[in-house]
Amino acid sequence: MKRILGIDPGLLHTGWSVIDVAGSTRKYIASGVILPSTKIDFSQRLAFIFNGVSELCEKFNPDECSIEVIFVNKNGKTTLLLGHARASAITAVAVRNIPVYEYEPNTVKKALTGMGHAEKDQIYKMLSILLPTAHPKTPDESDAIAIALTHANTSKFAL
């Protein structure tokens, strides 16, 4: 069995999920969102994300981590800032020697729905079919579960 930590990085909302994988069986364990205050400065927000992911690693002891690759949008500054949040999450995992796997947003959508440009509601519907005990409350949490499932469904696990 492998335990996967899925992360959907963000400066305001970092979604996370934990699933267990054994062969073709996927089991939902937990999910949520790391929410740094918008009232703290940028560096403290990054530290909050780092500490939040560190706590998840300590609590759930994942074997592997999957994280979404950020898309480059029209505003380069926004993309750069989001990259910092992503780096904070990756570093929190990497310092524990947990392998990190990265997935493009369209790869995640295609892995779950068969379509690389699926809408959020289509992903949510597939999550409810694939992991009926998961009930994400936010899109960030839903995305994190989808990222973990993508890794589970596209990786070769030595069980």
Domain boundary assignment for the chain:
2-154
CATH number for 2-154: choose from 3.40.80.10, 3.30.750.200, 3.30.420.10, 3.40.50.1820.
3.30.420.10
The reported pLDDT for the residue numbered 112 is: 86
At 72, the pLDDT band (50, 70, 90 cuts) reads low
Q: Which of 20, 64, 140, 141 is catalytic?
A: 140
The reported pLDDT for the residue numbered 158 is: 39
Q: In the predicted model, what is the mean pLDDT of residues 7-32?
A: 96
Instruction: State the CB neighbour count (10 A cutoff) for residue 42.
Output: 12
C-beta contacts of 70-79 below 8 A and 24+ residues apart: 70/9, 71/105
Q: Which of 64, 68, 141, 143 is catalytic?
A: 68
Q: In the predicted model, what is the mean pLDDT of residues 8-29?
A: 95
Residue 140 annotated in active site: yes
Q: In the predicted model, what is the mean pLDDT of residues 67-75?
A: 79
Cα separation, 7 vs 17, whole angstroms: 7
- Mean pLDDT, the chain, integer: 91
Residue 141 annotated in active site: no
Residue 68 annotated in active site: yes
Q: Which of 8, 20, 64, 141 is catalytic?
A: 8
Question: Is residue 120's pLDDT more than 50?
Answer: yes
Q: Return the closest-CA partner of residue 112 out of 82, 80, 147.
A: 147
